[in-house]
Structure 1
Amino acid sequence: MTPQDAPDNRWSNLDRPPLNATALRRALLRPDGLWTSLDVVQTTGSTNGDLAARAEQTPEGAVLVAEEQTAGRGRLDRNWSAPARSGLFFSVLLKPSDVPVERWGWLPLLAGVATASALSRAAGVDTALKWPNDVLVTVEGEERKAGGILAERAGGAGGGVVLGIGVNVTLSNEELPVPGAGSLVLAGAVSVDRDPLLRAVLRSLEQWYGDWREAGGDPDLSRLQESYAAGCATLGRTVRADLPGGRSVTGEAVAVDADGRLVLATGDGMQEPVGAGDIVHLRSVDS
Protein backbone atom coordinates (compact mmCIF):
# COMPACT_ATOMS: atom_id res chain seq x y z
CA MET A 1 0.00 0.00 0.00
CA THR A 2 1.38 3.39 -0.96
CA PRO A 3 1.06 6.40 1.37
CA GLN A 4 -1.53 7.85 -1.00
CA ASP A 5 -3.70 4.74 -0.53
CA ALA A 6 -3.56 4.72 3.28
CA PRO A 7 -7.07 4.81 4.78
CA ASP A 8 -6.40 8.03 6.70
CA ASN A 9 -4.86 9.86 3.75
CA ARG A 10 -7.03 12.82 2.80
CA TRP A 11 -6.54 12.14 -0.91
CA SER A 12 -7.16 8.37 -0.93
CA ASN A 13 -10.80 8.95 -1.89
CA LEU A 14 -11.43 12.35 -3.44
CA ASP A 15 -15.20 11.87 -3.26
CA ARG A 16 -15.11 10.84 0.40
CA PRO A 17 -12.09 12.37 2.15
CA PRO A 18 -11.61 11.71 5.87
CA LEU A 19 -12.59 14.17 8.53
CA ASN A 20 -9.92 16.60 9.70
CA ALA A 21 -9.82 15.90 13.43
CA THR A 22 -7.25 18.62 14.17
CA ALA A 23 -9.32 21.31 12.47
CA LEU A 24 -12.50 20.08 14.15
CA ARG A 25 -10.90 20.29 17.60
CA ARG A 26 -9.58 23.77 16.85
CA ALA A 27 -13.05 24.92 15.81
CA LEU A 28 -15.13 23.25 18.53
CA LEU A 29 -13.12 22.83 21.75
CA ARG A 30 -13.17 26.00 23.84
CA PRO A 31 -12.45 26.49 27.56
CA ASP A 32 -15.96 27.86 28.13
CA GLY A 33 -17.74 25.54 25.70
CA LEU A 34 -19.65 22.29 26.05
CA TRP A 35 -17.33 20.10 24.01
CA THR A 36 -14.34 18.91 26.02
CA SER A 37 -12.78 16.31 23.71
CA LEU A 38 -13.20 15.13 20.14
CA ASP A 39 -11.78 11.89 18.77
CA VAL A 40 -12.11 10.48 15.28
CA VAL A 41 -11.54 6.73 14.78
CA GLN A 42 -11.33 4.92 11.47
CA THR A 43 -13.75 2.16 12.37
CA THR A 44 -15.60 0.83 15.40
CA GLY A 45 -18.60 -1.28 16.21
CA SER A 46 -20.67 1.48 17.78
CA THR A 47 -19.69 4.95 18.95
CA ASN A 48 -22.57 4.80 21.43
CA GLY A 49 -21.27 1.57 22.88
CA ASP A 50 -17.70 2.85 23.10
CA LEU A 51 -18.65 6.11 24.78
CA ALA A 52 -21.17 4.49 27.14
CA ALA A 53 -18.53 2.02 28.34
CA ARG A 54 -16.40 4.83 29.71
CA ALA A 55 -19.11 7.35 30.57
CA GLU A 56 -18.55 7.37 34.34
CA GLN A 57 -14.86 8.23 33.94
CA THR A 58 -15.34 10.71 31.08
CA PRO A 59 -16.19 14.41 31.46
CA GLU A 60 -19.35 15.77 29.91
CA GLY A 61 -18.92 17.00 26.38
CA ALA A 62 -16.88 14.13 24.95
CA VAL A 63 -17.44 13.59 21.21
CA LEU A 64 -16.55 10.31 19.48
CA VAL A 65 -16.74 10.18 15.68
CA ALA A 66 -16.25 7.11 13.48
CA GLU A 67 -15.51 7.11 9.79
CA GLU A 68 -17.26 3.74 9.70
CA GLN A 69 -19.47 1.81 12.11
CA THR A 70 -19.76 -1.96 11.78
CA ALA A 71 -22.47 -2.46 14.42
CA GLY A 72 -24.29 0.85 14.50
CA ARG A 73 -27.73 0.79 16.06
CA GLY A 74 -30.84 2.87 15.64
CA ARG A 75 -34.05 3.01 17.62
CA LEU A 76 -35.77 -0.30 18.44
CA ASP A 77 -32.42 -2.10 18.00
CA ARG A 78 -32.42 -1.64 14.24
CA ASN A 79 -29.08 -1.87 12.46
CA TRP A 80 -27.59 1.30 10.98
CA SER A 81 -24.94 0.71 8.32
CA ALA A 82 -23.29 2.78 5.61
CA PRO A 83 -20.06 2.79 3.61
CA ALA A 84 -16.98 4.34 5.22
CA ARG A 85 -16.85 8.16 5.09
CA SER A 86 -20.32 8.33 3.51
CA GLY A 87 -21.96 10.08 6.45
CA LEU A 88 -21.67 11.45 9.94
CA PHE A 89 -21.56 8.77 12.62
CA PHE A 90 -20.88 10.12 16.08
CA SER A 91 -21.89 10.13 19.73
CA VAL A 92 -21.74 12.75 22.47
CA LEU A 93 -21.82 12.41 26.24
CA LEU A 94 -24.14 14.72 28.19
CA LYS A 95 -24.51 14.93 31.97
CA PRO A 96 -27.40 17.31 32.76
CA SER A 97 -27.22 16.67 36.51
CA ASP A 98 -28.92 19.99 37.28
CA VAL A 99 -32.02 19.03 35.23
CA PRO A 100 -34.72 16.79 36.75
CA VAL A 101 -34.34 13.26 35.41
CA GLU A 102 -37.98 13.18 34.31
CA ARG A 103 -37.11 15.84 31.72
CA TRP A 104 -34.17 13.93 30.24
CA GLY A 105 -36.59 12.31 27.81
CA TRP A 106 -36.47 15.53 25.84
CA LEU A 107 -32.80 15.05 24.95
CA PRO A 108 -33.33 12.90 21.82
CA LEU A 109 -35.99 15.33 20.59
CA LEU A 110 -33.62 18.22 21.32
CA ALA A 111 -30.94 16.46 19.29
CA GLY A 112 -33.42 16.04 16.46
CA VAL A 113 -34.22 19.76 16.39
CA ALA A 114 -30.53 20.67 16.57
CA THR A 115 -29.52 18.24 13.83
CA ALA A 116 -32.35 19.02 11.42
CA SER A 117 -31.98 22.79 11.74
CA ALA A 118 -28.18 22.63 11.35
CA LEU A 119 -28.34 20.44 8.25
CA SER A 120 -30.97 22.66 6.71
CA ARG A 121 -28.66 25.65 7.02
CA ALA A 122 -25.31 24.01 6.28
CA ALA A 123 -26.37 21.63 3.50
CA GLY A 124 -29.10 23.80 2.00
CA VAL A 125 -31.80 21.11 2.11
CA ASP A 126 -35.30 21.11 3.51
CA THR A 127 -35.46 18.91 6.59
CA ALA A 128 -38.26 17.71 8.84
CA LEU A 129 -38.61 15.42 11.84
CA LYS A 130 -40.59 12.23 12.06
CA TRP A 131 -41.50 11.61 15.70
CA PRO A 132 -39.51 11.16 17.76
CA ASN A 133 -36.23 11.99 16.04
CA ASP A 134 -35.83 10.69 12.49
CA VAL A 135 -34.45 13.37 10.17
CA LEU A 136 -36.35 13.47 6.88
CA VAL A 137 -35.34 14.95 3.54
CA THR A 138 -37.23 15.07 0.25
CA VAL A 139 -35.90 12.98 -2.63
CA GLU A 140 -37.82 13.20 -5.91
CA GLY A 141 -40.93 14.38 -4.10
CA GLU A 142 -40.81 11.61 -1.51
CA GLU A 143 -40.01 11.84 2.21
CA ARG A 144 -36.91 9.82 3.01
CA LYS A 145 -35.06 9.17 6.25
CA ALA A 146 -31.53 10.59 6.07
CA GLY A 147 -30.68 10.60 9.75
CA GLY A 148 -31.56 9.18 13.14
CA ILE A 149 -30.76 9.60 16.81
CA LEU A 150 -30.36 7.07 19.60
CA ALA A 151 -30.27 8.15 23.26
CA GLU A 152 -29.04 5.75 25.93
CA ARG A 153 -28.51 6.09 29.66
CA ALA A 154 -24.93 5.26 30.54
CA GLY A 155 -23.27 4.32 33.82
CA GLY A 156 -24.58 5.02 37.29
CA ALA A 157 -24.67 8.32 39.14
CA GLY A 158 -21.51 9.45 37.36
CA GLY A 159 -22.76 8.48 33.92
CA GLY A 160 -25.27 10.46 31.91
CA VAL A 161 -26.83 10.19 28.48
CA VAL A 162 -25.04 9.17 25.31
CA LEU A 163 -26.62 10.61 22.18
CA GLY A 164 -25.74 8.81 18.96
CA ILE A 165 -26.37 10.67 15.71
CA GLY A 166 -26.13 9.20 12.23
CA VAL A 167 -26.62 11.13 8.99
CA ASN A 168 -26.38 9.79 5.45
CA VAL A 169 -24.42 12.38 3.49
CA THR A 170 -23.15 11.02 0.15
CA LEU A 171 -24.91 7.66 -0.17
CA SER A 172 -26.09 6.91 -3.69
CA ASN A 173 -29.35 5.15 -4.48
CA GLU A 174 -27.45 1.88 -4.86
CA GLU A 175 -25.86 2.25 -1.41
CA LEU A 176 -29.01 2.98 0.58
CA PRO A 177 -29.46 0.33 3.29
CA VAL A 178 -33.25 0.02 3.15
CA PRO A 179 -36.20 1.26 1.08
CA GLY A 180 -37.28 4.66 2.34
CA ALA A 181 -33.76 5.77 3.20
CA GLY A 182 -32.24 8.90 1.73
CA SER A 183 -29.15 11.07 1.87
CA LEU A 184 -28.22 14.71 1.69
CA VAL A 185 -26.69 14.36 -1.77
CA LEU A 186 -29.86 12.73 -3.11
CA ALA A 187 -31.87 15.60 -1.63
CA GLY A 188 -29.82 18.09 -3.65
CA ALA A 189 -27.52 19.38 -0.91
CA VAL A 190 -25.41 22.38 -1.91
CA SER A 191 -22.58 21.08 0.30
CA VAL A 192 -21.62 17.54 1.30
CA ASP A 193 -18.30 18.43 2.95
CA ARG A 194 -18.61 16.55 6.23
CA ASP A 195 -16.30 18.82 8.25
CA PRO A 196 -18.55 21.92 8.14
CA LEU A 197 -21.64 19.73 8.44
CA LEU A 198 -20.34 18.15 11.65
CA ARG A 199 -19.29 21.54 13.03
CA ALA A 200 -22.76 22.92 12.30
CA VAL A 201 -24.56 20.03 14.03
CA LEU A 202 -22.33 20.16 17.13
CA ARG A 203 -22.64 23.94 17.45
CA SER A 204 -26.41 23.72 17.08
CA LEU A 205 -26.56 20.94 19.66
CA GLU A 206 -24.44 22.99 22.05
CA GLN A 207 -26.77 25.99 21.69
CA TRP A 208 -30.00 24.03 22.15
CA TYR A 209 -28.61 22.01 25.05
CA GLY A 210 -27.40 25.15 26.80
CA ASP A 211 -30.77 26.87 26.45
CA TRP A 212 -32.65 23.77 27.61
CA ARG A 213 -30.38 23.30 30.59
CA GLU A 214 -30.56 26.98 31.55
CA ALA A 215 -34.36 26.58 31.58
CA GLY A 216 -34.07 23.63 33.96
CA GLY A 217 -35.11 21.27 31.17
CA ASP A 218 -38.45 23.03 30.73
CA PRO A 219 -39.42 22.38 27.08
CA ASP A 220 -41.73 25.39 26.99
CA LEU A 221 -39.42 27.94 28.58
CA SER A 222 -36.52 26.84 26.37
CA ARG A 223 -38.82 26.97 23.28
CA LEU A 224 -37.85 23.40 22.52
CA GLN A 225 -41.44 22.10 22.47
CA GLU A 226 -42.52 24.91 20.13
CA SER A 227 -39.57 24.43 17.78
CA TYR A 228 -39.98 20.68 17.70
CA ALA A 229 -43.67 20.98 16.79
CA ALA A 230 -42.86 23.50 14.05
CA GLY A 231 -40.43 21.09 12.40
CA CYS A 232 -42.32 17.84 12.96
CA ALA A 233 -43.75 16.29 9.79
CA THR A 234 -45.75 13.78 11.85
CA LEU A 235 -48.14 16.37 13.29
CA GLY A 236 -51.32 16.76 11.30
CA ARG A 237 -50.90 13.33 9.72
CA THR A 238 -52.91 10.17 10.11
CA VAL A 239 -50.45 7.68 11.57
CA ARG A 240 -50.27 4.21 13.00
CA ALA A 241 -48.36 3.71 16.22
CA ASP A 242 -47.00 0.20 16.64
CA LEU A 243 -46.58 -0.04 20.40
CA PRO A 244 -44.53 -2.35 22.63
CA GLY A 245 -46.43 -5.56 23.29
CA GLY A 246 -47.86 -5.82 19.79
CA ARG A 247 -50.72 -3.29 20.14
CA SER A 248 -51.33 -0.68 17.42
CA VAL A 249 -53.19 2.62 17.56
CA THR A 250 -54.28 4.64 14.52
CA GLY A 251 -55.25 8.28 14.69
CA GLU A 252 -54.36 11.84 13.84
CA ALA A 253 -51.15 13.13 15.40
CA VAL A 254 -52.39 16.33 17.02
CA ALA A 255 -49.66 17.40 19.47
CA VAL A 256 -46.42 16.71 21.26
CA ASP A 257 -47.11 17.03 24.97
CA ALA A 258 -44.94 18.42 27.78
CA ASP A 259 -43.29 15.01 28.23
CA GLY A 260 -42.35 14.74 24.56
CA ARG A 261 -45.02 12.15 23.84
CA LEU A 262 -46.95 12.11 20.58
CA VAL A 263 -50.67 12.63 21.17
CA LEU A 264 -53.02 10.76 18.83
CA ALA A 265 -56.69 11.62 18.38
CA THR A 266 -58.35 8.28 17.70
CA GLY A 267 -61.58 7.54 15.88
CA ASP A 268 -63.51 7.01 19.12
CA GLY A 269 -62.90 10.59 20.20
CA MET A 270 -60.14 9.75 22.67
CA GLN A 271 -56.67 11.23 22.84
CA GLU A 272 -53.86 8.77 23.51
CA PRO A 273 -50.27 9.83 24.28
CA VAL A 274 -47.58 7.60 22.79
CA GLY A 275 -44.23 7.57 24.57
CA ALA A 276 -42.57 4.67 22.78
CA GLY A 277 -43.16 2.77 19.58
CA ASP A 278 -42.80 2.89 15.83
CA ILE A 279 -44.75 5.54 13.94
CA VAL A 280 -45.92 4.93 10.38
CA HIS A 281 -47.10 7.93 8.35
CA LEU A 282 -50.30 6.87 6.55
CA ARG A 283 -51.57 10.04 4.90
CA SER A 284 -51.98 13.74 5.50
CA VAL A 285 -55.20 15.06 6.98
CA ASP A 286 -56.04 17.01 3.81
CA SER A 287 -55.58 14.09 1.40
Structure 2
Amino acid sequence: MTPRDASENDRDHSSSRWSDLERPPLNAAALRRGLVREGGLWSDVDVVQRTGSTNSDLVDRAAAGTAGEGAVLVAEEQTAGRGRLDRQWSAPARSGLFFSVLLKPVEVPVARWGWLPLLTGVAVAAGLARAAGVDTALKWPNDLLVKVGGEERKAGGILLERAGDGGVVIGVGINVTLRAQELPVPTAGSLALAGAVSTDRDTLLRGVLRSLEDWYGRWRTAGGDAGLCGLQEAYAAGCATLGRTVRAELPGDRAVVGEAVAVDGDGRLVLATGEGVREPVGAGDIVHLRPAE
Protein backbone atom coordinates (compact mmCIF):
# COMPACT_ATOMS: atom_id res chain seq x y z
CA MET A 1 0.00 0.00 0.00
CA THR A 2 1.43 3.40 -0.95
CA PRO A 3 1.43 6.34 1.51
CA ARG A 4 -1.31 7.93 -0.59
CA ASP A 5 -3.42 4.74 -0.42
CA ALA A 6 -2.94 4.57 3.35
CA SER A 7 -3.91 8.20 3.76
CA GLU A 8 -7.08 7.72 1.74
CA ASN A 9 -7.90 4.58 3.73
CA ASP A 10 -7.50 6.51 7.01
CA ARG A 11 -9.85 9.21 5.74
CA ASP A 12 -12.38 6.63 4.64
CA HIS A 13 -12.20 4.97 8.07
CA SER A 14 -12.52 8.26 9.96
CA SER A 15 -15.59 9.22 7.97
CA SER A 16 -17.19 5.79 8.33
CA ARG A 17 -20.58 5.68 9.97
CA TRP A 18 -19.03 3.20 12.44
CA SER A 19 -16.05 5.44 13.32
CA ASP A 20 -17.65 6.37 16.68
CA LEU A 21 -18.74 3.10 18.26
CA GLU A 22 -20.64 4.94 20.99
CA ARG A 23 -22.88 6.36 18.25
CA PRO A 24 -24.04 3.47 16.06
CA PRO A 25 -26.22 4.20 13.03
CA LEU A 26 -29.98 3.90 13.11
CA ASN A 27 -31.49 0.65 11.86
CA ALA A 28 -33.86 1.90 9.16
CA ALA A 29 -35.32 -1.53 8.36
CA ALA A 30 -36.10 -2.26 12.00
CA LEU A 31 -37.66 1.19 12.45
CA ARG A 32 -39.96 0.60 9.47
CA ARG A 33 -40.96 -2.81 10.80
CA GLY A 34 -41.75 -1.36 14.21
CA LEU A 35 -43.61 1.76 13.10
CA VAL A 36 -45.26 1.24 9.71
CA ARG A 37 -48.38 -0.90 10.05
CA GLU A 38 -51.82 -1.23 8.53
CA GLY A 39 -54.19 1.38 9.95
CA GLY A 40 -51.37 3.27 11.70
CA LEU A 41 -50.30 6.86 11.15
CA TRP A 42 -46.74 6.29 9.95
CA SER A 43 -46.64 5.41 6.25
CA ASP A 44 -42.88 5.44 5.66
CA VAL A 45 -39.63 5.90 7.59
CA ASP A 46 -36.67 7.08 5.53
CA VAL A 47 -33.21 7.45 7.10
CA VAL A 48 -30.58 9.48 5.22
CA GLN A 49 -26.96 9.82 6.25
CA ARG A 50 -26.60 13.57 5.76
CA THR A 51 -28.76 16.47 4.64
CA GLY A 52 -29.15 20.18 5.11
CA SER A 53 -32.57 20.12 6.77
CA THR A 54 -35.09 17.30 7.10
CA ASN A 55 -37.85 19.91 7.29
CA SER A 56 -36.87 21.51 3.99
CA ASP A 57 -36.48 18.12 2.33
CA LEU A 58 -39.88 16.86 3.52
CA VAL A 59 -41.61 20.10 2.49
CA ASP A 60 -40.10 19.62 -0.98
CA ARG A 61 -41.20 15.97 -1.10
CA ALA A 62 -44.74 16.97 -0.11
CA ALA A 63 -44.82 19.62 -2.84
CA ALA A 64 -43.59 17.07 -5.40
CA GLY A 65 -46.20 14.53 -4.31
CA THR A 66 -43.59 11.97 -3.27
CA ALA A 67 -44.51 12.02 0.44
CA GLY A 68 -47.92 11.55 2.02
CA GLU A 69 -49.31 11.90 5.51
CA GLY A 70 -47.31 9.91 8.00
CA ALA A 71 -44.01 10.17 6.13
CA VAL A 72 -41.02 10.33 8.48
CA LEU A 73 -37.62 11.60 7.35
CA VAL A 74 -34.65 11.08 9.68
CA ALA A 75 -31.09 12.33 9.19
CA GLU A 76 -28.00 10.96 10.89
CA GLU A 77 -26.52 14.43 10.45
CA GLN A 78 -27.99 17.84 9.60
CA THR A 79 -25.76 20.57 8.22
CA ALA A 80 -28.36 23.35 8.05
CA GLY A 81 -30.89 22.47 10.73
CA ARG A 82 -33.14 25.34 11.75
CA GLY A 83 -35.16 26.40 14.74
CA ARG A 84 -37.73 29.16 15.02
CA LEU A 85 -36.93 32.36 13.10
CA ASP A 86 -34.25 30.48 11.14
CA ARG A 87 -31.97 30.07 14.15
CA GLN A 88 -29.29 27.49 13.47
CA TRP A 89 -29.30 24.00 15.02
CA SER A 90 -26.24 21.79 14.58
CA ALA A 91 -24.74 18.72 16.27
CA PRO A 92 -22.21 15.99 15.48
CA ALA A 93 -23.32 13.08 13.30
CA ARG A 94 -25.43 10.44 15.09
CA SER A 95 -25.34 12.40 18.36
CA GLY A 96 -29.07 13.00 18.37
CA LEU A 97 -32.43 12.47 16.74
CA PHE A 98 -33.06 14.84 13.85
CA PHE A 99 -36.33 14.08 12.08
CA SER A 100 -39.42 15.55 10.45
CA VAL A 101 -42.94 14.20 9.96
CA LEU A 102 -45.64 15.15 7.47
CA LEU A 103 -49.17 15.48 8.87
CA LYS A 104 -52.42 16.46 7.16
CA PRO A 105 -55.06 17.26 9.80
CA VAL A 106 -57.59 18.38 7.18
CA GLU A 107 -60.55 17.65 9.44
CA VAL A 108 -59.27 20.11 12.06
CA PRO A 109 -59.95 23.85 11.64
CA VAL A 110 -56.75 25.66 10.62
CA ALA A 111 -57.22 28.04 13.56
CA ARG A 112 -56.40 25.12 15.87
CA TRP A 113 -53.23 24.03 14.08
CA GLY A 114 -51.22 26.27 16.37
CA TRP A 115 -51.48 23.45 18.93
CA LEU A 116 -49.40 21.08 16.80
CA PRO A 117 -45.95 22.21 18.08
CA LEU A 118 -47.26 22.06 21.66
CA LEU A 119 -48.80 18.64 21.01
CA THR A 120 -45.46 17.47 19.65
CA GLY A 121 -43.72 18.75 22.78
CA VAL A 122 -46.08 16.79 25.02
CA ALA A 123 -45.63 13.66 22.90
CA VAL A 124 -41.84 13.92 22.84
CA ALA A 125 -41.66 14.50 26.59
CA ALA A 126 -43.89 11.50 27.27
CA GLY A 127 -41.98 9.28 24.85
CA LEU A 128 -38.61 10.21 26.32
CA ALA A 129 -39.82 9.72 29.89
CA ARG A 130 -40.72 6.12 29.05
CA ALA A 131 -37.84 5.24 26.72
CA ALA A 132 -34.96 7.21 28.26
CA GLY A 133 -36.08 7.58 31.86
CA VAL A 134 -35.49 11.33 31.70
CA ASP A 135 -37.94 13.96 32.90
CA THR A 136 -38.33 16.52 30.13
CA ALA A 137 -39.98 19.87 30.76
CA LEU A 138 -41.40 22.18 28.10
CA LYS A 139 -40.44 25.80 27.64
CA TRP A 140 -43.23 27.52 25.77
CA PRO A 141 -43.57 27.40 22.85
CA ASN A 142 -41.12 24.89 21.39
CA ASP A 143 -38.12 23.97 23.58
CA LEU A 144 -37.44 20.70 25.40
CA LEU A 145 -35.61 21.07 28.71
CA VAL A 146 -33.68 18.58 30.82
CA LYS A 147 -31.77 19.03 34.07
CA VAL A 148 -27.99 18.73 34.04
CA GLY A 149 -26.40 19.12 37.44
CA GLY A 150 -29.61 20.64 38.78
CA GLU A 151 -29.70 23.28 36.05
CA GLU A 152 -32.27 23.47 33.27
CA ARG A 153 -30.72 23.02 29.83
CA LYS A 154 -32.20 22.99 26.35
CA ALA A 155 -31.92 19.51 24.85
CA GLY A 156 -34.28 19.84 21.93
CA GLY A 157 -36.55 21.97 19.82
CA ILE A 158 -39.57 21.77 17.55
CA LEU A 159 -40.29 23.60 14.29
CA LEU A 160 -43.52 23.60 12.30
CA GLU A 161 -43.74 24.61 8.64
CA ARG A 162 -46.70 24.61 6.29
CA ALA A 163 -46.55 22.22 3.36
CA GLY A 164 -48.69 22.18 0.25
CA ASP A 165 -51.97 20.32 -0.12
CA GLY A 166 -53.24 20.95 3.40
CA GLY A 167 -50.22 19.58 5.23
CA VAL A 168 -47.70 20.60 7.84
CA VAL A 169 -44.18 19.39 8.44
CA ILE A 170 -43.03 19.20 12.04
CA GLY A 171 -39.31 18.97 12.70
CA VAL A 172 -37.81 17.70 15.94
CA GLY A 173 -34.20 17.87 17.08
CA ILE A 174 -33.09 16.13 20.28
CA ASN A 175 -29.55 16.01 21.67
CA VAL A 176 -29.04 12.40 22.77
CA THR A 177 -25.33 11.65 23.36
CA LEU A 178 -23.89 15.15 23.01
CA ARG A 179 -20.87 15.42 25.32
CA ALA A 180 -20.03 18.41 27.51
CA GLN A 181 -17.19 19.53 25.23
CA GLU A 182 -19.51 19.34 22.20
CA LEU A 183 -22.21 21.65 23.55
CA PRO A 184 -22.77 24.58 21.17
CA VAL A 185 -23.62 26.94 24.07
CA PRO A 186 -23.41 26.59 27.88
CA THR A 187 -27.21 26.50 28.14
CA ALA A 188 -27.48 23.37 25.97
CA GLY A 189 -27.78 19.83 27.29
CA SER A 190 -28.41 16.26 26.20
CA LEU A 191 -30.16 13.14 27.41
CA ALA A 192 -26.82 11.54 28.24
CA LEU A 193 -25.73 14.51 30.36
CA ALA A 194 -29.12 14.39 32.11
CA GLY A 195 -28.50 10.79 33.17
CA ALA A 196 -30.66 8.90 30.66
CA VAL A 197 -30.96 5.18 31.40
CA SER A 198 -30.92 4.52 27.66
CA THR A 199 -29.46 6.45 24.73
CA ASP A 200 -30.34 3.84 22.11
CA ARG A 201 -31.65 6.08 19.36
CA ASP A 202 -33.74 3.36 17.69
CA THR A 203 -35.62 2.78 20.95
CA LEU A 204 -35.98 6.51 21.60
CA LEU A 205 -37.28 7.28 18.11
CA ARG A 206 -39.83 4.48 18.25
CA GLY A 207 -41.02 5.69 21.65
CA VAL A 208 -41.34 9.30 20.54
CA LEU A 209 -43.16 8.48 17.28
CA ARG A 210 -45.59 6.12 18.99
CA SER A 211 -46.36 8.82 21.56
CA LEU A 212 -46.83 11.39 18.79
CA GLU A 213 -49.18 9.04 16.93
CA ASP A 214 -51.25 8.63 20.11
CA TRP A 215 -51.55 12.34 20.90
CA TYR A 216 -52.16 13.34 17.28
CA GLY A 217 -54.95 10.77 17.06
CA ARG A 218 -56.62 12.07 20.22
CA TRP A 219 -56.36 15.69 19.08
CA ARG A 220 -57.65 14.94 15.57
CA THR A 221 -60.57 12.89 16.91
CA ALA A 222 -61.52 15.85 19.12
CA GLY A 223 -61.54 18.16 16.10
CA GLY A 224 -58.45 19.94 17.40
CA ASP A 225 -60.09 20.87 20.71
CA ALA A 226 -57.10 20.81 23.06
CA GLY A 227 -59.28 20.95 26.14
CA LEU A 228 -61.53 18.10 25.10
CA CYS A 229 -58.69 15.67 24.30
CA GLY A 230 -56.69 16.51 27.45
CA LEU A 231 -53.85 18.17 25.56
CA GLN A 232 -54.25 21.58 27.17
CA GLU A 233 -54.09 20.08 30.66
CA ALA A 234 -51.13 17.84 29.78
CA TYR A 235 -49.18 20.72 28.30
CA ALA A 236 -49.80 22.94 31.33
CA ALA A 237 -48.67 20.13 33.65
CA GLY A 238 -45.34 19.81 31.83
CA CYS A 239 -44.70 23.47 31.03
CA ALA A 240 -41.78 24.93 32.98
CA THR A 241 -42.68 28.46 31.83
CA LEU A 242 -45.89 28.65 33.85
CA GLY A 243 -45.54 30.35 37.21
CA ARG A 244 -42.46 32.30 36.16
CA THR A 245 -42.07 35.98 35.41
CA VAL A 246 -40.92 36.36 31.84
CA ARG A 247 -40.22 39.00 29.22
CA ALA A 248 -41.88 38.39 25.86
CA GLU A 249 -40.07 40.30 23.13
CA LEU A 250 -42.36 41.05 20.20
CA PRO A 251 -41.80 42.55 16.75
CA GLY A 252 -41.34 46.30 16.58
CA ASP A 253 -39.23 46.44 19.75
CA ARG A 254 -42.32 45.85 21.87
CA ALA A 255 -42.07 43.75 25.01
CA VAL A 256 -44.52 42.41 27.60
CA VAL A 257 -43.35 41.50 31.09
CA GLY A 258 -45.53 39.43 33.37
CA GLU A 259 -46.11 36.17 35.16
CA ALA A 260 -46.96 33.29 32.84
CA VAL A 261 -50.25 32.15 34.32
CA ALA A 262 -51.86 29.94 31.67
CA VAL A 263 -51.85 28.50 28.17
CA ASP A 264 -55.22 29.41 26.64
CA GLY A 265 -57.45 27.39 24.32
CA ASP A 266 -55.55 28.63 21.28
CA GLY A 267 -52.15 27.60 22.67
CA ARG A 268 -51.15 31.17 23.50
CA LEU A 269 -49.19 32.01 26.63
CA VAL A 270 -51.15 34.28 28.96
CA LEU A 271 -49.11 36.84 30.88
CA ALA A 272 -50.42 38.68 33.94
CA THR A 273 -48.75 42.08 33.86
CA GLY A 274 -48.02 44.43 36.75
CA GLU A 275 -50.89 46.62 35.55
CA GLY A 276 -53.36 43.83 36.22
CA VAL A 277 -53.85 43.01 32.54
CA ARG A 278 -53.88 39.47 31.21
CA GLU A 279 -52.25 39.54 27.79
CA PRO A 280 -52.02 36.47 25.55
CA VAL A 281 -49.02 36.13 23.21
CA GLY A 282 -48.89 33.69 20.33
CA ALA A 283 -45.92 31.62 19.23
CA GLY A 284 -46.03 33.20 15.77
CA ASP A 285 -45.78 36.70 17.24
CA ILE A 286 -42.90 36.24 19.65
CA VAL A 287 -39.22 36.88 18.93
CA HIS A 288 -37.76 35.84 22.30
CA LEU A 289 -39.11 34.65 25.62
CA ARG A 290 -36.67 35.15 28.46
CA PRO A 291 -36.73 35.29 32.27
CA ALA A 292 -37.50 38.80 33.41
CA GLU A 293 -34.60 40.55 35.10
| TM-score (structure 1 length as normaliser) | 0.94
Structure 1 residue runs of 4 or more that deviate by more than 2 Å after TM superposition: 4-9
Q: Does 1:177 align with 2:187?
A: no
Q: Which residue of 2 aligns with 1:205?
A: 212
The Cα offsets for residues 69-103 of structure 1, whole Å up to 9 and x where unpaired, read as 00000012110000000000000000001111111
Q: Which residue of 1 aligns with 2:252?
A: 245
- SS at 1:70 equivalent: coil
**Count of residue pairs brought into register by the alignment:** 279
Q: Distance in 2 between matches of 1:99 and 1:261?
A: 18
Q: Does 1:81 align with 2:90?
A: yes
Q: Which residue of 2 aligns with 1:138?
A: 147
Per-residue deviation at 1:14?
A: 1.2
Per-residue deviation at 1:159?
A: 4.2
- SS at 1:53 equivalent: helix
TM alignment of 1:45-124, pairs within 5 A? 45-56=52-63, 57=65, 58-124=67-133
Q: Does 1:280 align with 2:280?
A: no
Larger Rg: 2
Per-residue deviation at 1:6?
A: 8.2
Q: Distance in 2 between matches of 1:221 and 1:281?
A: 31
Q: Distance in 2 between matches of 1:103 and 1:142?
A: 34
- Is contact 2:106–2:166 with CA below 8 Å preserved after alignment? no
Q: Distance in 2 between matches of 1:99 and 1:43?
A: 34
- SS at 2:102 equivalent: strand
2:243 to 231, 236, 247: 236
- Is contact 1:55–1:159 with CA below 8 Å preserved after alignment? no
| TM-score (structure 2 length as normaliser) | 0.92
Q: Which residue of 2 aligns with 1:263?
A: 270
Q: Which residue of 2 aligns with 1:190?
A: 197
Q: Which residue of 1 aligns with 2:173?
A: 166
Q: Distance in 1 between matches of 2:134 and 2:68?
A: 34
Q: Distance in 2 between matches of 1:24 and 1:281?
A: 39
Q: Does 1:147 align with 2:156?
A: yes
Q: Which residue of 2 aligns with 1:219?
A: 226
- Is contact 1:89–1:167 with CA below 8 Å preserved after alignment? yes
Which is further off, 228-237 or 117-126? 117-126
- SS at 1:230 equivalent: helix
Structure 2 residue runs of 5 or longer lacking an equivalent are: 1-8
Opposite residue 251 of structure 1, the aligned amino acid is G
Q: Which residue of 2 aligns with 1:41?
A: 48
Q: Distance in 2 between matches of 1:281 and 1:130?
A: 11
Q: Distance in 1 between matches of 2:221 and 2:14?
A: 45
Q: Distance in 2 between matches of 1:203 and 1:281?
A: 33
- Is contact 2:258–2:271 with CA below 8 Å preserved after alignment? yes
Percent identity among equivalent residues? 73
Q: Distance in 2 between matches of 1:230 and 1:263?
A: 15
Task: Tell me the C-alpha RMSD between the 2 structures.
Answer: 1.5
Q: Distance in 1 between matches of 2:209 and 2:38?
A: 16
Per-residue deviation at 1:243?
A: 1.1
Per-residue deviation at 1:13?
A: 2.2
- SS at 1:54 equivalent: helix
- SS at 2:97 equivalent: strand
